[in-house]
Structure 1
Amino acid sequence: MTQPIILLILKALEGRGAERMVTTLAQAYITMDYSVHVLCLEDSQEMPLDPRIKKHIVPYYEVFAQQQLATASEQASAYKAVAERIDYYVLNQIGVPDLILANIYKVNWIMAYSKLPNIVNVLHTAVSRQFQHQLSDDAVQTIAHLKMVYGAHPCSCVSAGAHQDLLALIGQGLNKTTTIYNPCDVTAIKQAAVERVDIEKFGLTDKGYMIHVGSFDTMKGHHDLLQAYAKTARKLPLILVGKGKLESEIKQLAIQLSIDKCVKFLGFQTNPYPLIASAALMVLTSKFEGFGYVIVEAQALGVPVISTDCPFGPRELLPAKNLISVGDIDGLALLIDRAIENLTHYTVPLNQQLLPNHIAQQYLSFGSVLELKNNEH
């Protein structure tokens, strides 16, 4: 009897939330005795994979390089060509998957042209926020495009807020939709956290700092974080883990605010969990999120978390006392000081329904319902 095949598709195994979701789910399906495959469009890899999980690369750059993508139709033609290449590769090198999880908008767009069965689009963020500028420039054309992308296959959103956002924006024209939260592998996170880094080399002591983990881009709210931190009592240094296009700008802001001696930039960490586990407090300051992965990772390690009450994930993971409105710099500063004075008050246990086996089963159930529906028609 052949093993059922699970295929997870994404752009690359970089160190963001969607990639953590893919590697965690892949691991869960391996333990459930599935044949698990991860297919990437780029070969860069920052996230480790279990050697039992088969990794595949179907590059898309050369298809785009062959065409001048001056118009929308030319761009669509290029995406169709990538979809055809993926279909051919999967059928010849992997087989017919029992479930395909397509992650990230660019992959969702490509797979809208795929002829493979059992595809589920996984939406990791709020579509209205992701396409805010395009919607303000040309709402009709943007919504028509999004209907094409997300109407092609069933969609699962990683938070109820992101799900409602999708329905409100697109509504009619969607296939079946659901909410399935991102999985949190507590066992793996705790094991990774045990690999203690020498925090002294960073000038840190155990439980002697607060931490923010996230890429340096606008949505992560580093500007607000530093402005708020400058207004706190600064009883603990602020550690920033991540990389991105705004990093040098944020470093300059720390100097301008005269807090550069209290703020440390540690760059991207392949294994951030020892740093999270040793932190006194985790802070999330995003403008918007699909889920808010670092919240549940901190919860898994028993670390207190406070966050902006951004659309859409944090309010589904944290109580109101742990949240502050986006853009409320003074309120964030006050919340940071309060949390540091009473850390246990801001510790929130992890929802056990977020464990990987539960989430993996939800995708299988969603997929089997879809298969049943398809067979009925």
Structure 2
Amino acid sequence: MADEGTAVPAARRRVLFVVDTLSGGGAERFVSTCLAHLDRASFEPHLALLRDEVVYPLPDDVHPVILGKRRWWHFGRAARRLAAWLHEHRPHVVLSALEHCSAITDAALNKATVPRPFWIARTANQPQHGLNWIESSRRQQAYRHADRILANSQGSADAFVRMYPFTRHKLRVIGNPTDFEQIDRMAREPVDLPDADVPTVIAVARLAQQKRPDVLVEAFARVRSQMVARLAICGDGPQRRAVERLVRDRGLADCVVLAGFQPNPYAWMARSDLFVLSSDYEGLPNALIEAQGLGLPAVSTSCPSGPSEIIEDGVTGILVPCGNAARMAEAVLALLQDTDRRRAFGQAARQRIRQQYGVGPLLSELCALLRERTTSGPPHDERKTT
């Protein structure tokens, strides 16, 4: 394990990020941003993907290794491939960006016959939701072996320590660095959204139980009964058909746009009036950060964790109880019907979020973490030759 505060001398460090894909999620966006902004004078970034899916920007100097895990029974194959890569390239640091990626990383590190790199296991969500005992055991072992645990919000860190109290001494909290310059450029791109004069509520979320799209649609049905408005949902997932049925059953087919996964949701956000998040739990919702950074007021569930750290209730948005469509509808109506308040919330959100989640300060914190070193085994600045 690593000694607290031990720093490595200034040198170019090989850093491997392990994530499932580079498409469609907050952890994936986090990795894409880190790959783009890490100082190449100090770091040599590498990438391992469980699946060959790349939508988010990937720098020209990063060539991902594909581990080939699409089903649970591919776990061993992915671990062997990662172990082989570790043996060949010998990174100084490994950062596994999602919980299941940490389990694979742990197995690979146990197989690899090289000096152990400094390992950061990132947790991106509330722990232990929907796990079987095998996956739970694998994750617990991974967290015991990791040198640092990285959480993206204080709420998720607190929940993590309650679940895994032995990690308290090695837990760090660093928010998701967000590239607002790139977001601003993408927000200016055209998007085909008809009836520009109709007030538009937007959600950017995977259509899955965690995100509670049912609550979102039920809340919007109440809004629509009071005023003309549109709901746009950018995202796809296993509950898409159920959402389509609910939209039809509530008579909302003419005012709900199910846009599917959008590689550029920012163009949609820029043409919307209000952002809504209806999740039962989160880690630190990137889409909420991005929307508020673009100047959108927000209505969000006060779920564990993240939204209450992002939204200043009554100043940049409104927090409502989880699973309560009526309260969500009231908050949405209150902002859609009050242009001045909505504009003031949006301006305050833009200023607050860009200061809190901009790339510069958060990436500096992450780079300091990447420069720490483990004392388990000799330094390996020079690759072994055979």
Instruction: Output the TM-score relative to the length of structure 2.
Output: 0.83
1:243 to 236, 247, 252: 236
Q: Does 1:254 align with 2:247?
A: yes
Q: Which residue identity does 1:43 align to in structure 2? A: D
Aligned position for 1:19: 28
Q: Aligned partners of 2:167, 2:363: CA distance in 1, in Å?
A: 27
Q: Which residue identity does 1:254 align to in structure 2? A: V
Higher relative contact order (CA 8 A, sep 6+): 2
Instruction: Deviation per CA, 1:328-368: give whole Å up to 9, x if none.
Output: 22111100001112312432131424222322222232243
Aligned position for 1:210: 201
Q: Secondary structure at the match of 1:50?
A: coil
Aligned position for 2:5: none
Q: Does 1:363 align with 2:366?
A: yes
Aligned position for 1:72: none
Deviation at 1:117, TM superposition (A): 0.6
CA, structure 1 residues 63+162, in 2 after alignment: closer, same or farther (shift >3 Å)? Answer: closer
Deviation at 1:324, TM superposition (A): 0.5
Instruction: Deviation per CA, 1:242-295: give whole Å up to 9, x if none.
Output: 111111111110111122211111111111111111111111111111101111
Q: Aligned partners of 1:175, 1:158: CA distance in 2, in Å?
A: 16
Q: Is the 8 A contact 1:146 1:170 kept in 2?
A: no
Matches within 5 A, 1:214-363: 214-232=205-223, 233-321=226-314, 322-340=318-336, 341=338, 342-347=341-346, 348=349, 349=351, 350-363=353-366
Aligned position for 2:7: none
Q: Secondary structure at the match of 1:266?
A: strand
CA, structure 1 residues 149+206, in 2 after alignment: closer, same or farther (shift >3 Å)? Answer: farther
Matches within 5 A, 1:1-377: 3-30=12-39, 34-60=43-69, 64=73, 78-79=75-76, 82-92=78-88, 95-115=89-109, 116-128=116-128, 130-131=129-130, 134=132, 144-153=137-146, 154-172=148-166, 176-197=170-191, 199=192, 202-205=193-196, 208-232=199-223, 233-321=226-314, 322-340=318-336, 341=338, 342-347=341-346, 348=349, 349=351, 350-371=353-374
Q: Is the 8 A contact 1:99 1:364 kept in 2?
A: no
Deviation at 1:143, TM superposition (A): 6.0
Counting matched residue pairs gives 351
Q: Which residue identity does 1:41 align to in structure 2? A: L
Q: Secondary structure at the match of 1:35?
A: strand
Q: Aligned partners of 2:25, 2:235: CA distance in 1, in Å?
A: 10
Q: Aligned partners of 2:39, 2:119: CA distance in 1, in Å?
A: 19
Deviation at 1:113, TM superposition (A): 2.4
Q: Secondary structure at the match of 1:264?
A: strand
- TM-align CA RMSD: 2.7
Q: Is the 8 A contact 2:283 2:305 kept in 1?
A: yes
Deviation at 1:173, TM superposition (A): 5.9
Q: Aligned partners of 1:63, 1:296: CA distance in 2, in Å?
A: 32
Q: Aligned partners of 2:235, 2:70: CA distance in 1, in Å?
A: 26
Q: Aligned partners of 1:27, 1:282: CA distance in 2, in Å?
A: 27
CA, structure 1 residues 63+272, in 2 after alignment: closer, same or farther (shift >3 Å)? Answer: closer
Q: Is the 8 A contact 1:183 1:355 kept in 2?
A: yes
Q: Secondary structure at the match of 2:367?
A: helix
Q: Which residue identity does 1:209 align to in structure 2? A: T
Deviation at 1:180, TM superposition (A): 1.1
Q: Secondary structure at the match of 2:51?
A: coil
Q: Which residue identity does 2:31 align to in structure 1? A: V
Q: Aligned partners of 2:376, 2:320: CA distance in 1, in Å?
A: 43
Q: Aligned partners of 2:242, 2:373: CA distance in 1, in Å?
A: 47
CA, structure 1 residues 297+171, in 2 after alignment: closer, same or farther (shift >3 Å)? Answer: same
Instruction: List alignment gaps of at least 5 residues for structure 1.
Output: 66-77
Instruction: Deviation per CA, 1:211-257: give whole Å up to 9, x if none.
Output: 11111101111100111111122432111111111111111101111
Q: Aligned partners of 2:87, 2:200: CA distance in 1, in Å?
A: 50
Q: Aligned partners of 1:165, 1:324: CA distance in 2, in Å?
A: 21
Instruction: Output the TM-score relative to the length of structure 1.
Output: 0.85
Q: Secondary structure at the match of 1:230?
A: helix
Q: Aligned partners of 1:14, 1:91: CA distance in 2, in Å?
A: 27
Deviation at 1:190, TM superposition (A): 0.5
Instruction: List alignment gaps of at least 5 residues for structure 2.
Output: 1-9, 110-115, 379-386
CA, structure 1 residues 330+345, in 2 after alignment: closer, same or farther (shift >3 Å)? Answer: farther
Instruction: Deviation per CA, 1:146-195: give whole Å up to 9, x if none.
Output: 42122110211111111110100121266611111111111010011122
Q: Is the 8 A contact 1:206 1:279 kept in 2?
A: no
Q: Is the 8 A contact 1:98 1:118 kept in 2?
A: yes
Q: Which residue identity does 1:120 align to in structure 2? A: I
Q: Which residue identity does 1:344 align to in structure 2? A: R
Q: Is the 8 A contact 2:188 2:267 kept in 1?
A: yes
Which is richer in helix? 1
Q: Secondary structure at the match of 1:5?
A: strand
Q: Which residue identity does 2:294 align to in structure 1? A: L
